[in-house]
């Protein structure tokens, strides 16, 4: 076994030279490389800070745009509700107006029909009255066997016509009250 001649606890000059060389290399690196690294790190920090500020601003703009969009959407919904309410109101008015016009037209048609029916009934009564006199005379001629003069029996014919007219008029008033004969 060889005996060690140097003691590692006692410094020799290699350690000193290594230490001096390390400090020189560290000084050169610190003097030449470190300013470029600090400059690059500062630029990178500024870039990141700018991007964060831009992101914050974009986020605030997005929130403002979202709030504006929601406001406009609510305004559009309110406007749509107003339009629907107005359309419903207009539809109700149109329906009411149409129903009123239809009822008026119905009443006019019914009244016109009642007038036409009354006129037709009156015409029929007059025709029947005139015809009854002729039928009575013809029947009496056959029964008696000779011709009856209308002038001779005018009173009888007038009474028969008056009775038929009175009966027809009482039928007309009953029909106009809604009773069907």
In the chain, where are the structural domains located?
17-176
Both tokens of 79, joined, read 């406007």
Residue 10 is predicted with a pLDDT of 62
Task: Give tens-digit pLDDT for 39-74.
Answer: 999 999 999 999 999 999 999 999 999 999 999 999
The 10s digit of each residue's pLDDT in 130-154 is 777 777 777 777 677 655 566 666 7
Does residue 166 carry a pLDDT above 60?
yes
Alpha carbons 168 and 101: distance in angstroms, whole number: 36
> Which 8-state DSSP code applies to residue 8?
T
What's the pTM value of the predicted model, to 2 decimals?
0.41
DSSP strand E in 86-147: where?
A: none
Alpha-carbon gap, residue 58 to 52, rounded angstroms: 10
User: Is the confidence at residue 173, as pLDDT, over 90?
Assistant: no
Nearest alpha-carbon partner for 110 in 171, 180, 178: 178
Alpha carbon distance 55, 49 (integer Å): 10
**Distances, alpha carbon 70 to alpha carbons 58, 59, 78, 81, in Å:** 18, 16, 12, 16
């Amino acid at each position: 076994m060889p005996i060690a001649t140097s003691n590692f606890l006692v410094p020799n000059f290699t350690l000193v030279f290594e230490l001096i060389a390390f400090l020189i290399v560290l000084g050169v690196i610190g003097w030449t490389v470190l300013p470029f690294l600090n400059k690059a790190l500062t630029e990178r920090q500024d870039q990141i800070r700018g991007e964060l500020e831009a992101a914050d601003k974009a986020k605030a703009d997005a929130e403002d745009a979202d709030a504006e969009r929601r406001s406009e959407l609510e305004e559009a919904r309110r406007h749509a509700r107003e339009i629907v309410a107005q359309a419903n109101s207009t539809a109700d008015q149109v329906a009411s107006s149409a129903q009123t016009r239809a009822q008026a037209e119905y009443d006019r048609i019914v009244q016109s029909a009642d007038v036409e029916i009354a006129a037709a009934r009156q015409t029929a009564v007059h025709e029947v009255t005139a015809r009854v006199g002729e039928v009575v005379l013809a029947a009496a001629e056959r029964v008696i066997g000779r011709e009856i003069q209308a002038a001779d029996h005018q009173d009888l014919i007038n009474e028969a016509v008056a009775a038929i007219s009175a009966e027809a008029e009482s039928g007309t008033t009953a029909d106009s009250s809604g009773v069907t004969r």
